[in-house]
């Protein structure tokens, strides 16, 4: 019971800090909106999709949702590095609660925060002419949360090994852009050079974006953009399974890393 309360308190603290930081919230949606309107609206006429029935903005919109969740989730470790630098984490770690509960609270807080910008992006669907329904939102929520938990766990894991905010932000920038551009947000993962194709397959974000796109576009319309792994076309549930396994591994490593914090 004590550990569950610790998870809740750490989760609630991160949510409260985010809620009172309006600039952070605006920053989380500004870049995705720029991509959405500049790439989607401005370049849609010149971006072909191999003669498919999908226009570029419809293709990109679910990817932007995934991108928004991913970037916010990765940066969730920022609060942990901040707590380390200012000594708050030491006070938490000497409390009579398991360190696994501390890690869990940080991951859940970061994942919950990552959902908020993703939901805000959905509001712009009617503005850019993308069909969206309440049922679609309800189907997307668990997929978005799974991606958020998995990527947040990686962000928290890396944050536990960082000694300064500058180092963490540099590592995040090195990871974030390749993960986004190699996940199928802006272009289909088809007909790529062998080396680039390999990178897209080992990128966990690819398997998080694919099911989001399938839910938004529908199974038939999204079929041309499905991930092909070892000659097998991945289904929605297979993509979900890969993201879940990745998340479990990252959470386990984050808990292990917390247990070795001084």
Calpha distance 181→179 (Å, rounded) = 6
**Positions of the chain with pLDDT under 50:** none
pLDDT score for 41: 62
pLDDT score for 46: 52
Calpha distance 102→6 (Å, rounded) = 7
The whole-model pTM stands at: 0.88
Calpha distance 149→247 (Å, rounded) = 7
Q: Is there a contact between 260 and 88 (Cβ–Cβ < 8 Å)? A: no
pLDDT score for 44: 57
Q: Which long-range contacts (CB under 8 A, 24 or more apart) does 236-243 make?
A: 236/210, 236/211, 239/207, 239/208, 239/210, 239/211, 240/143, 240/146, 240/207, 240/211, 242/204, 242/207, 243/146, 243/147, 243/150, 243/204, 243/207, 243/208, 243/211
pLDDT score for 45: 55
pLDDT score for 150: 94
Spell out a b/e string for 17-36, using b for 16 or more CB atoms within 10 Å of the CB, else e.
ebeeeeebbeebbeebbebb
Question: What would the two tokens of residue 205 be?
Answer: 């974000």
Token pair 């501390």: residue = 102
Written as one string, the DSSP assignment of the chain is -HHHHHHHHHHHHHHHHHHT-HHHHHHHHHHHHHHIIIIIIIHGGG---TT-S--HHHHHHHHHHHHHHHHHHHGGGHHHHHHHHTTHHHHHHTSSS-HHHHHHHHHHHHHHHHHHHHHHHHTTTTTTT----HHHHHHHHHHHHHHHHHHHHHHHHHHHH-SSHHHHHHHHHHHHHHHHHTTTSSS-S-S--HHHHHHHHH-HHHHHHHHHHHHHH-HHHHGGG--EETTEEPPHHHHHHHHHHHHHHHHHHHHHHHHT--
Token pair 């932007």: residue = 64
């Amino acid at each position: 019971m004590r550990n569950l309360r610790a998870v809740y308190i750490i989760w609630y603290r991160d949510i409260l800090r985010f809620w009172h930081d309006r600039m952070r919230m605006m920053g989380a949606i500004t870049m995705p909106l720029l991509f959405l309107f500049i790439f989607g609206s401005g370049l849609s006429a010149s971006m072909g999709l191999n003669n498919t029935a999908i226009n570029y903005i419809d293709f990109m919109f679910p990817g932007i949702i995934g991108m928004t969740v991913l970037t916010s989730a990765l940066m969730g470790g920022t609060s942990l590095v901040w707590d380390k630098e200012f000594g708050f984490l030491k006070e938490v770690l000497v409390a009579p609660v398991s360190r696994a509960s501390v890690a869990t609270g940080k991951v859940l807080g970061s994942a919950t925060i990552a959902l908020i910008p993703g939901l805000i992006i959905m509001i712009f669907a009617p503005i850019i002419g993308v069909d969206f329904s309440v049922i679609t939102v309800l189907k997307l929520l668990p997929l978005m949360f799974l991606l958020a938990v998995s990527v947040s766990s990686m962000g928290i894991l890396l944050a536990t090994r960082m000694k300064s905010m500058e180092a963490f932000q540099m590592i995040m920038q090195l990871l974030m852009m390749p993960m986004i551009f190699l996940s199928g947000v802006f272009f289909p993962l088809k007909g790529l050079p062998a080396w680039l194709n390999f990178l897209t397959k080992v990128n966990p974000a690819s398997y998080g974006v694919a099911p989001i796109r399938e839910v938004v576009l529908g199974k038939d319309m999204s079929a041309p953009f499905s991930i092909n792994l070892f000659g097998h076309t991945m289904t929605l549930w297979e993509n979900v399974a890969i993201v879940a396994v990745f998340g479990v591994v990252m959470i386990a490593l984050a808990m292990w890393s917390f247990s070795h914090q001084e």
